[in-house]
Chains A and B, each alone.
Chain A
């Protein structure tokens, strides 16, 4: 096992009678983009929230550098979160703040910086996603794609080791989807040591950006491989999902 990897071991989570995760095993390698695919409602977002420590699993382990994240107390978990950045599905920018203040926010909260240093860090983050001239605007004044870019800048500004994306291209038009794909790939390539995890059901985007793909089906990971493996596999579930067919093991 690669020391830097995140290892998910037999993660289980249920909500009432509904068993969402039924023993998820997955290795998320360092310095790469891993994409978890699966139909809507298969527990992808739950997996992400568990990884982030926003939800606790019922059983199973999340191993990171020899530590089991599921065993951490609240304050240790809070510290652990500093190593993660998350890009939410709908950006989740704070609408009471400008774009600049949104990105400055995590820095203000966690790092004692002089206003000049702070501005340099925020401007650099804004520039890296091409929003330098839009810092003074409110989130609602930006387009969906720009908001997403701002969310990436906010997640990156504290230089996290892990960047998690929750369905980054859902609800965007094809051009904007390509743009966000570029953003994810570009961010990965320009940030040394970054590990990205993307949750998606957008097959085109996935094949385009992923280093590793894992498919979640009925609460378990049923396939892991590279984009080429996905293209050539004869796993019927993966085939049906990739080709978007109605007939097959996945029932609508």
Chain B
């Protein structure tokens, strides 16, 4: 690389590609080591529980609010659509299907990403720039296993619970708006909901959310772990973590949904 002249287009494109490949390699290595850290001793149950509490506590209120209002607004919007061909009885089933299969896992993990992923990146980043991670290593403790493994494990475990909470309040939100505000006949409303929504929809969504939880925590920890410089570096790591995990959730969601789709087609 030359320092004297400005980079031309090809060089900067090449540098960008190299950067992405490097990042991907570094992320994969970090995450594989962290997952291996979950499986092998020493098991630090106390840290895992502390992190589970942290993830749940940080996110529950915001997930509940998001869930309730998502359900409520979708009730209003689908009333607008279904009202046009007199199928308002389908509002409940449609919205709850959308919630459990898609909106629950995606919106929950995006909210958790904003709260928890950013906090993990900031915490590990601060530990990195203040040499606390070096201190762990100097005490013969594997810092990835100590810091990243419980965070990733806790987020994988907690995300489905938060997703289920989102689904639950979302369903309450749509039911209340439909039957009380929009005056939809409760009979067909709940009947169709029960008819169309399967436990598999709920389980499938929760499973997806566990995968997204893994993305949120692993990207947050990885970015924080490799933070450089002082406060600015920690800030950059945090921003990058939230953006990268957010985009990754949406991209991975598409592919996972495509893969999972045949499983649910057969049953109808």
Contacts and interface: CB of A to CB of B under 8 A. Distances in A.
Given A92-B130, A92-B131, A54 B141 contact: no
B134 interface: yes
Interface string B135-158: 101111110000000000000000
A106 interface: yes
Nearest to B136: A94
A95 interface: yes
A78 B42 CA distance: 14
Nearest to B138: A86
B257 interface: no
Contact of A78 (B130, B135, B142): B142
B132 interface: yes
Interface in B59-90: none
Nearest to A53: B137
B130 A84 contact: no
A121 interface: no
A109 interface: yes
A105 B135 CA distance: 11
A110 interface: yes
Contacts of B138: 52, 54, 81, 84-86, 88
B224 to A, nearest CB: 14
A92 B135 contact: yes
B31 to A, nearest CB: 18
Contacts of A79: 140
A36 B132 CA distance: 23
Interface string B27-55: 00000000000000010000000000000
B131 A90 contact: yes
Interface in B137-183: 137-142
B240 to A, nearest CB: 22
A55 to B, nearest CB: 10
Interface string A60-99: 0000000000000000001101101110111011110000
Contacts of A106: 139, 141
B131 A95 contact: no
B137 A54 contact: yes
Interface string A23-54: 00000000000000000000000000100101
B135 A110 contact: no
A89 B127 CA distance: 14
A88 B134 contact: yes
Contacts of A109: 42, 139, 141
A74 B137 CA distance: 12
Interface residues of A, number: 21
Interface in B87-142: 127, 130-132, 134-135, 137-142
A89 B139 contact: no
B147 to A, nearest CB: 11
Contacts of B135: 86, 88, 92-94
A92 B134 contact: yes
Contacts of B139: 81, 105-106, 109-110
A54 B131 CA distance: 12
Interface string B213-237: 0000000000000000000000000
A82 B138 CA distance: 8
Contact of A82 (B127, B134, B140): B140
Nearest to B129: A90
Contact of A88 (B131, B141, B142): B131
B130 A54 contact: no
Contacts of A84: 138
B146 to A, nearest CB: 8
Contacts of B132: 92-95
B161 to A, nearest CB: 24
Nearest to B139: A106
A246 B135 CA distance: 36
Contacts of B130: 90, 92, 95
Contacts of B142: 78
A106 B135 CA distance: 10
Contacts of A92: 130-132, 134-135
Contacts of A90: 130-131
23 contacts: A49-B134, A52-B137, A54-B137, A78-B140, A79-B140, A81-B138, A81-B139, A81-B140, A85-B138, A86-B138, A88-B134, A89-B131, A90-B131, A92-B130, A92-B135, A94-B127, A94-B132, A95-B132, A105-B139, A106-B139, A109-B139, A110-B139, A110-B140
Interface of A: 49, 52, 54, 78-79, 81-82, 84-86, 88-90, 92-95, 105-106, 109-110
Interface of B: 42, 127, 130-132, 134-135, 137-142
Q: Which 9 A-B pairs have the closest CB atoms?
A: A92-B131, A81-B140, A92-B135, A86-B138, A88-B131, A106-B139, A78-B140, A82-B140, A92-B132
